[in-house]
Structure 1
């Protein structure tokens, strides 16, 4: 097995890259195993024989859980906030996910030299529980969330239509904890130097991608528009958790085309140990190539 294939089936450690004046770092919080035929219900047994490199020794997709730290000089933005200190074992009756666990994000921020109180804003791709964890959960030894100085940024439809959410795991209690800090943002709004809002609904009503641009280079942080690098070649594969599978597929096709443009890097928060990559054209179609 090649090193790149090994990376497709293991969780990612902290990984960083430079993009002009930015330092961009994946901050791990935990991992979840996704059951491939359940999570991507349009796939077949043959599809996973053809894409066996993406499956671990339990036959599942390894999906990292974490956040993207965007550092611009002394300033710091976080995109998503992990799961928090929660865990659950595999339930054989759950057709979608196996074992999951989180809780490592604050320790990994410390390894990167950042204290939670230095984060000036947390920009969420959407309101699912594995993306808002440390924004609502009290910090260790405290009764308040960890990011004490941060505002919480959410696309208008994601926040205003939160009652339509398709994820019962995100409770009213969690949303109430977020509410005092929420500020809604709009398409193409610059929320941090070089960071802009790009709506990609489908997974949720207001699912949001963020673009980070420095000169002629850019990074696209696409959240749960794609859950696995296998979808780069198969953007028609929608997730069972998508609110609108047809709309999510439209945005996946567009994102894959954008990621094929020169000087463009992608960030896939659930992409096992290949969270940073570019999309190259191959004889078999577009392919995700890790860059960090």
Structure 2
């Protein structure tokens, strides 16, 4: 991939992208996008950092964050990791660390991938922020019922037990009440689907989870909001402004970056613009960097 093409992909949200891992297929299902103000979202960065890395910023000077879910398919069964922002938009508000947010495309893109909501047996959440639970509580078009009403909602035990903490960042009691009848809590290390295990990585939220997919001698780590931008790969000390515990999240990022450099290990960053799948390798300066796939 040329530098020009890679830079273009850093400034746009992702389309549908698919990888084969042995007998398991993983597909990024887009729902929309969010703008992240660089200094607001990553407050430990400086103007000098972004002056040196304009390739990460779109025409409005913002980081581009994809929003969507990861479809995991195995022997005719389907698991969805995260459920996007849902059928809504939110305008930018001055002073917020994020700009405009738009969702609504996930069900259409799921259909384009050959799947319907009723084919999904479970939705596993990395955490319960609004850009990850949208289609879990919102009614599908022409219905009063949630799109995934037949699926179990898998949430880590500490995330669900401390869900009241999320109201300060927009996840309302009404949203959670709509999800509650389908929620099943999960434990650290639990296998939730063939070849898929939960790994608790608190920090961004109190019960944040990564999901590790293993098949065909390969391993994919869907790390949720442990990282929001590929630029953090070289700087795991940079926490997001909404991280519940910045020190804890930075500690997990350091471990994650080290793990992603191991052989046969792939990362999935749901907010990583149009470079959602990749590996981590050392660059010429011996710093770890994100190497996106062309998938």
Structure 1 segments of 4+ aligned residues over 6 angstroms from their partners: none
CA distance in 2, matches of 1:211, 1:200: 12
Other structure's SS at 2:40 match = helix
Q: Secondary structure at the match of 1:165?
A: helix
Aligned to 1:10: 12
Gaps of at least 5 residues in structure 1 are none
Q: Does the 8 Å CA contact 1:88/1:99 hold for their aligned counterparts?
A: yes
Q: TM-score under structure 1 normalisation?
A: 0.98
**Counterpart position of 2:242:** 241
Q: 2:65 is matched with which residue?
A: 63
- Assess, with a 3 A threshold, how the Cα gap between structure 1 residues 145 and 166 changes in structure 2: closer, same or farther: closer
* Kept in 2: contact 1:66–1:80 (CA 8 A): yes
Aligned position for 1:184: 185
In structure 2, what is the equivalent of residue 196 of structure 1?
197
Hey, what does 2:224 align to over in structure 1? 223
Q: Is the 1:20–1:215 Cα contact (8 Å) retained in structure 2? A: yes
In the other structure, the counterpart of 1:119 is 120
Give, in angstroms, the shift of residue 148 of structure 1. Answer: 2.4
What's the counterpart of residue 208 of structure 1?
Answer: 209
Q: What is the SS of the residue equivalent to 2:266?
A: strand
TM-superposed deviation, 1:146: 0.5
Superimposed CA distance per residue, residues 178-209 of structure 1 (whole angstroms, 9 cap, x where no aligned partner): 10111110111000000001011000000000
Aligned-residue offset at 1:50: 1.9
Report what 1:261 is aligned to.
Answer: 262
Deviates more, 1:281-290 or 1:244-253: 281-290
The separation in 1 between residues aligned to 2:189 and 2:169, in whole angstroms, is 30
Give, in angstroms, the shift of residue 51 of structure 1.
1.9
Instruction: For residue 283 of structure 1, report the CA deviation from its aligned partner.
Output: 2.2
Shift of 1:95: 3.3
Asked if structure 2 preserves the Cα contact closer than 8 Å seen for 1:260 and 1:278, the reply is yes
CA RMSD of aligned residues (A): 1.0
Residue in 1 that maps onto 2:290: 288
Query: What TM-score comes out, normalization by structure 2 length?
Result: 0.97
* Structure 2 equivalent of residue 28 of structure 1: 30
Structure 2: 5+ residue stretches without partners: none
After TM superposition, the structure 1 stretch with the greater mean CA deviation from structure 2, 145-154 or 74-83, is: 145-154
Partner of 2:96: 95
| CA distance in 2: counterparts of 1:214 and 1:17, whole angstroms | 12
Which has the higher mean CA deviation after the structures are superposed, 49-58 or 189-198? 49-58
Task: Tell me which residue corresponds to 2:164.
Answer: 163
CA–CA distance in structure 1, aligned partners of residues 82 and 139 of structure 2? 16
Q: CA deviation at 1:106?
A: 0.1
Supply the distance in 2 between the matched residues of 1:197 and 1:168 (Cα, whole angstroms).
24
> Could you tell me how far apart the structure 1 residues matched to 2:169 and 2:39 are?
22
| Displacement after TM superposition at 1:167 (Å) | 4.1
Give the length in aligned residue pairs.
291
- TM-superposition CA deviations, 1:100-120 (whole Å, max 9, x none): 100000000000000000100
Please show how residues 135-150 of structure 1 align to structure 2 within 5 Å.
135-150=136-151
Q: Which SS does the other structure have where 1:33 is aligned?
A: strand
Q: Secondary structure at the match of 2:271?
A: coil
User: Following the alignment from structure 2 to structure 1, what is the Cα–Cα distance between the partners of residues 279 and 245?
Assistant: 26
**2:43 aligned residue:** 41
